[in-house]
Amino acid sequence: MLARRRTLAALITTAVVATTTAAGVATSASGSGATPERGTAAAGALLRSGPLKKDLWIPGTGRAVKVTYATTDPFGESATSTGTIFVPKGKAPAGGWPVVSWAHGTSGLADACAPSRIGPALPERDFAYLGTWMAQGYAIVASDYVGLGTPGKHPYLDATTTAHSVVDMVKAAQAYSTAHLPARQRLSRKWVVIGQSQGGGAAIATASYATEFGGPGLDFRGGVGTGTPAYIELLVSAAGPGVLPVDASPHLSSYILYILAGMRYAHPELDIDSALSETGKTFMALAEKLCGDALAEAVTGTAIGDFFSTPLAALPGFVEAARDYMGMPETSFEQPVFLANGLIDTDVPMETTAAYVAVLTANGADVTFRTYPGDHNTTMDLSLPDSVPFVAGLFAS
């Protein structure tokens, strides 16, 4: 497994070195086609709220609700998303509960995979982790992301669209706080974003766009991303018959499928299906139905290279569209960010995150980067002794 991790890391890192000097800021995906049931409400508008099942409450929660709110889809149109709000027990401090906007990791693409419906992908891990933040006296708000449990499809790893979902969730939570919470329980305007894996990318992308998308009504303080996928577009663009020739990681294989399904929706002009083998088409259909671990189990033993009949890079415009769709922002970080990675992470190799951190640092961002002797799932907990005081400092500043 270690040799496979090094092979994968070398593939991505070589591409990073060749392209980062010319890389620009990621922008929102564009494409033809229409999404169903587009609305006209302003981004962040609270549309509906209702009870959340008690077994989905984070430990230490005093009140929890599920909300539907307005946000922006990958075509730049008004759309809806769902999410959850968790308020601590007791009385809020002066100014209200500081807010942590949680960006969840990979759960899947199907509506049934939305965390507000079934909880996090890894409940034991995520509930314990989020309970730590709740115990610090923070309210937690969590977007399901646009298209996951709402009309349209979820554009998995679309950095800019997901940042819209995360920021607009905070706006919707503020609206809920004003309309429905007693004064002693209301939320503060101060907020940070925290995420893992897919959510690590969402968190760091959000940190770049937070002020632009949030406007003057919010007071953004910074972000934390663990297992943050950076330069994954380079890996995806390198894929084709025989690349990769090994089962690098079932979860990595499932991430590739989720990415391509999201890109197929956001960029139909690429005709991604034309590059897929029959095996790839079969697994792409499963990717739109199966949640997280179920898809990873289904692809176990199948090499990523078996998904393709033609190199993806041979599709006209694919490389550029992949960069536009999932490329992480490299500038406009007005507040500090904290990134953490496991040294034996086989899903998001540490080397790619380190390369991304180097670019952010060179561009003037205030970045703290830590590595830990863990894998993709354990880095969250291992980083808490560093990330908890980091966030406390953001709120105190």
Same domain? For 193 and 75 the reply is yes
Same domain? For 143 and 180 the reply is yes
Same domain? For 96 and 157 the reply is yes
Question: 40: exposed, middle or buried (C-beta count within 10 Å: 0-12, 13-18, 19+)?
Answer: exposed
pLDDT reading at 23 higher than 50: no
pLDDT, tens digit (0-9, with 9 covering 90-100), for 329-365: 999 999 999 999 999 998 898 999 999 999 999 999 9
Does residue 80 sit within a domain? yes
Q: What is the pTM of this model?
A: 0.90
Does residue 36 sit within a domain? no
Can you give the CATH number for the domain in which 391 is found? 3.40.50.1820
pLDDT, tens digit (0-9, with 9 covering 90-100), for 179-204: 999 999 999 999 999 999 999 999 99
Tell me which residue range forms the domain holding 150. Answer: 46-230+330-396
Same domain? For 213 and 243 the reply is no
Residue 366: pLDDT band with limits 50, 70, 90: very high
Q: Please give the pLDDT value at position 17.
A: 39
Q: Please give the pLDDT value at position 247.
A: 60
Same domain? For 20 and 6 the reply is yes
Does residue 368 sit within a domain? yes
pLDDT reading at 322 higher than 60: yes
For the stretch 263-266, contacts whose Cβ atoms lie closer than 8 Å and that sit 24 or more positions apart, written own/partner, are 263/155, 263/321, 263/322, 263/325, 265/33, 265/74, 265/152, 265/153, 265/155, 266/29, 266/31, 266/74, 266/75, 266/155, 266/158, 266/161, 266/325
Q: Of 325, 346, 376, which one is at a domain's C-terminal end?
A: 325
pLDDT reading at 11 higher than 60: no
Same domain? For 168 and 69 the reply is yes
Q: Of 295, 325, 355, which one is at a domain's C-terminal end?
A: 325
Does residue 41 sit within a domain? no
Same domain? For 101 and 225 the reply is yes
pLDDT reading at 100 higher than 50: yes
Helix (H) or strand (E) holding 189: strand 187-196
Q: Of 280, 295, 325, which one is at a domain's C-terminal end?
A: 325
Same domain? For 390 and 302 the reply is no
